[in-house]
């Protein structure tokens, strides 16, 4: 059977057609959206999970390619006091809760799709990301099938226009290959892809009664994408839509980057960002970007390295306010980067409705909190919002015409700051808001139905 699958940077969702309407599948705790997170008590357990859930015909080759990890699993499970049947794997909200309770004990990844197009990945790293994606898709597909009562065999998966700011089409092909491999291992027989902003546009188009030139602006968790599309009654039944898609732009900057920027600019002062050495030299900003950049594999590896721990500890003797640097060391020792950025995300959400909010930082220091205002939020996000506006301008320029309407979708697309920035740069063009999370899934589902029926 057919399903639309949004394997998003922030959330995952699946949709099926029922009585000519899209129905979202409940994936976790009676909710339609499952956070794109995974927690494993040991990274080898991820490959072990895949090995135990592959089709019989694929197991032998997989086991040979992952032998160095799989051979260690029995000893790992004994050390972790796990039964042989225990997976040691959690996804979604359960993974977040495991990470909060045991941040230093396991392997936690948020928004894994953000890494799939990374430049310079070694073959073993690509294989590991395939296993992460396979594990998540296997579990999500299984949950959907249990609820629906039938097997899912065909899917259209959403993808950003560009998975990475650098790397170009090679990065895109690498990421699509990882997702294709994972979906096939999870049991999908047919896998196709559709640009996420186009998927949102397909959903929006369903209700249009007149033709419109639409700029779809999709601000996801890991990427921002714009698609300029001719839509409406004259176009939606076309079997081939290539000529209707006038332009696409995209960049690896999304809601996660807004959270990271806010964390760096407003929360790392607690960790000593503005402090000085006794020599008078300032603390290097790079340390604090490394602590916050949860979507950058190399920066996180550098931050959590043994060398960095030794360097930070040595700095304690040279810094004017060692108690603040000690908090950064606590973040490093206890793997609290995701927790730090999560607090920034909560502040971003709160400040969309209120002019100020208190950020709870007690997880790195007793009774530690900070009042953050919407003015400080705007200052922290200024550069990121500027980049999104440039993407929208480029899409319009490439299309060679002005849009009749701007359609905003995605988790961060409803930010008043973003709307104000777009209006200032693009002029007084009508802006409409879609379902922040459901538009892409609905469009993918409608496209899958058209493609596979």
Assess whether 296 and 397 both reside in one domain. no
In a domain? residue 196: no
In a domain? residue 143: yes
For the chain, which ranges sit under pLDDT 70? Answer: 165-167, 435-436
Assess whether 113 and 137 both reside in one domain. yes
Nearest to 205 by CA among 237, 232, 242: 232
Are the beta carbons of 123 and 178 closer than 8 angstroms? no
In a domain? residue 205: no
In a domain? residue 441: no
What does the block give as tokens for 377?
């939020």
In a domain? residue 452: no
Nearest to 227 by CA among 443, 445, 383: 443
Assess whether 34 and 155 both reside in one domain. yes
pTM above 0.85, yes or no: no
Assess whether 336 and 283 both reside in one domain. yes
Full domain range(s) for residue 9: 2-188
The tally of domains found in the chain comes to 3
Assess whether 394 and 373 both reside in one domain. no
Quick one: which H or E segment has residue 408?
strand 405-409
Assess whether 38 and 172 both reside in one domain. yes
Are the beta carbons of 185 and 140 closer than 8 angstroms? no
Look at residues 380, 396, 418 and tell me which one is the last residue of a structural domain. Answer: 380
Distance of alpha carbon 192 from alpha carbon 296, whole angstroms: 27
In a domain? residue 203: no
Distance of alpha carbon 26 from alpha carbon 251, whole angstroms: 30
Distance of alpha carbon 178 from alpha carbon 241, whole angstroms: 26
Indicate which CATH number applies to the domain containing 152.
3.30.420.40
Q: Count Cβ atoms within 10 A of the Cβ of residue 236 and give its class: 0-12 exposed, 13-18 middle, 19 or more buried.
A: middle
């Amino acid at each position: 059977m057919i399903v639309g699958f949004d394997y998003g940077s922030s959330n995952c969702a699946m949709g099926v057609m029922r009585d000519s309407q899209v129905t979202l599948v409940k994936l976790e705790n009676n909710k339609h959206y499952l956070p794109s997170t995974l927690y494993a008590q040991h990274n080898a357990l991820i490959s072990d999970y895949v090995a135990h859930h592959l089709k019989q015909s694929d197991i032998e080759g997989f086991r040979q390619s992952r032998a160095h990890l799989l051979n260690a699993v029995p000893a790992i499970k004994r050390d972790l006091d796990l039964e042989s049947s225990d997976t040691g794997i959690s996804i979604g909200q359960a993974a977040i809760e495991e990470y909060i309770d045991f941040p230093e004990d396991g392997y936690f990844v948020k928004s894994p799709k953000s890494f799939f197009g990374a430049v310079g990945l070694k073959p073993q790293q690509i294989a590991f990301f395939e296993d992460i994606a396979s594990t998540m898709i296997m579990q999500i597909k299984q949950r959907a099938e249990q609820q629906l009562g039938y097997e899912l065999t065909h899917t259209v998966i959403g993808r950003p226009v560009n998975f990475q700011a650098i790397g170009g089409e090679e990065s895109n092909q690498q990421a699509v290959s990882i997702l294709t491999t994972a979906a096939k291992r999870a049991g999908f027989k047919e896998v196709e892809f559709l640009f996420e902003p186009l998927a949102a546009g397909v959903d929006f188009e369903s209700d249009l009664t007149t033709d419109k030139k639409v700029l779809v602006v999709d601000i996801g968790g890991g990427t921002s994408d714009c698609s300029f599309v001719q839509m409406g009654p004259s176009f939606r039944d076309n079997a081939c839509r290539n000529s209707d898609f006038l332009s696409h732009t995209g960049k690896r900057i999304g809601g996660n980057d807004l959270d990271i920027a806010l964390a760096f600019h407003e929360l790392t002062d607690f960790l000593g960002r503005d402090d000085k050495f006794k020599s008078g030299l300032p603390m290097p900003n790079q340390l604090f970007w490394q602590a916050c950049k949860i979507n950058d594999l190399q920066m996180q590896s550098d931050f959590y390295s043994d060398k960095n721990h030794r360097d930070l500890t040595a700095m304690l003797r040279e810094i004017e306010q060692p108690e603040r640097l000690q908090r950064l060391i606590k973040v490093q020792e206890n793997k609290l980067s995701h927790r730090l950025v999560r607090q920034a995300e909560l502040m971003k959400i709160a400040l969309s409705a209120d002019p100020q909010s208190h950020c709870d930082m007690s997880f790195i220091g007793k009774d530690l909190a900070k009042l953050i205002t919407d003015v400080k939020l705007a200052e922290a996000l200024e550069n990121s919002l500027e980049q999104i506006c440039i993407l929208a301008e480029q899409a319009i320029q490439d299309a060679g015409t002005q849009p009749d309407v701007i359609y905003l979708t995605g988790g961060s697309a409803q930010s008043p700051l973003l709307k104000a920035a777009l209006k200032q740069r693009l002029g007084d063009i009508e802006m409409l808001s879609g379902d922040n999370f459901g538009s892409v899934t609905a469009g993918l589902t409608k496209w899958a139905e058209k493609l596979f029926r």
